[in-house]
Amino acid sequence: MMPGCTSYISIMNTIAFHRPAAQRITVGEVRALFELPFADLMYRAQQVHREYFDPNQVQLSTLLSIKTGGCSEDCGYCPQSAFHSTGVENRRMLQLEEVVRAAQAAKQAGADRFCMGAAWREPSDEDMLSVVEMVRAVRGLGMETCATLGMLNDEQTLMLKNAGLDYYNHNLDTSPEFYGHIISTRDYQDRLDTLERVRRAGMHVCSGGIVGMGESVAERAGLIAQLANLDPYPESVPINNLVKVEGTPLADEEDLDPLDFVRTIAVARVAMPKARVRLSAGRQQMSDEIQALCFLAGANSIFYGDQLLTTGNPEVERDRALLDRLGMHAGKE
């Protein structure tokens, strides 16, 4: 088999995503990356990034909240948890036509992936029937599909796969050690089990976390090590900067040094060379210059559209202007 032919490339891709047990990255090794001088870390991240990706290309995903608020989980960061009074209204699930209209608009604006999010601990059987229709319809528009619906059982995972779902987003959120400070209503292993089901069903895994929740550098390193040691590691890794929402337990958390956010992106890039690292929540509060550093650090995907789930995201015009200023273009190949 010749280097360059399709099957050679696909075998090499498979090998690269797997990290044999002997090559597991330790929390200490990830921490050592965090502690490199900024310039050295950025240099390493850029070397790795350029090995596998066009550094001027960014993939655009648009989010839509298909079911908002009233969630039975107690995630300390989340404005949609029924445990917190944040003023987010509980809304019924969107109708199929509303979802299709939003996906058409996202495609028109230039997004190639449409991600449907629901404020559920897990979907009910009835919910699944509607979601499956939505996935089919969005796929029918020629967009990549992603969903984030909470925990899944085997049957639900298969239903999504059969409907043509490309990616399932389910975040580890933080390290196993820090997790209990943030969420008490489900445990870390539940999350790993859902990711394992998604992987076994043959869908792409999208999993990342949140920084700026008061975790230590070691705990931040613990999150990246967990993600990187998934076998294979996720194809898509969203790194969220905590959006502090009034009424949530984390509303008064101290701001993360923006350069530590950039470092987290760079470390994720080095630890997971072939993953799409997504510069996710928190961009609205970030300067263009910090976002530019995130792209230099190896971020190559963003949420694109004026809204995340319940909070804001930079306006499409601001993003277009930023990508223009940086000579970057949208794409996913």
Catalytic residue numbers read: 71, 75, 78, 115, 146, 206, 278
H/E element, 14: helix 6-17
By C-beta, is 148 or 291 nearer to ligand DTB?
148
Work out how close the CB of 238 gets to ligand SF4 at its nearest, in angstroms, rounded to a whole number: 13
The footprint of ligand SF4 on residues 134-193 (CB under 6 A) is 150
Smallest CA-to-CA distance from 136 within 120, 160, 156, 119 is with 160
If one asks whether residue 106 binds ligand SF4 (CB under 6 A), the answer comes out as no
By C-beta, is 173 or 219 nearer to ligand SAM?
173
Instruction: Write each residue from 61 to 100 as x if it is in contact with ligand SAM (CB under 6 A), else as -, in one continuous string.
Output: ----------------xx----------------------
Hey, which residues does 113 pair with through a beta bridge? Answer: 61, 144
> How many Å apart are CA 195 and CA 199, to the nearest integer?
6
Mutual angle of helices 288-296 and 316-325, in 10-degree steps: 60
If one asks whether residue 130 binds ligand DTB (CB under 6 A), the answer comes out as no
If one asks whether residue 148 binds ligand DTB (CB under 6 A), the answer comes out as yes
Applying CB under 6 A, which part among 5-13, 28-36, 73-81, 129-137 lies near ligand SF4?
73-81
Q: Which two tokens stand for residue 19?
A: 């990290």
> How many Å apart are CA 219 and CA 225, to the nearest integer?
10
Residue 152's CB is within 10 A of a number of other CB atoms, namely: 23
Applying CB under 6 A, which part among 51-59, 69-77, 159-167, 286-294 lies near ligand SF4?
69-77
> How many Å apart are CA 265 and CA 208, to the nearest integer?
11
Sites of contact with ligand SF4 (CB under 6 A): 71, 73, 75, 78, 80-81, 119, 121, 150
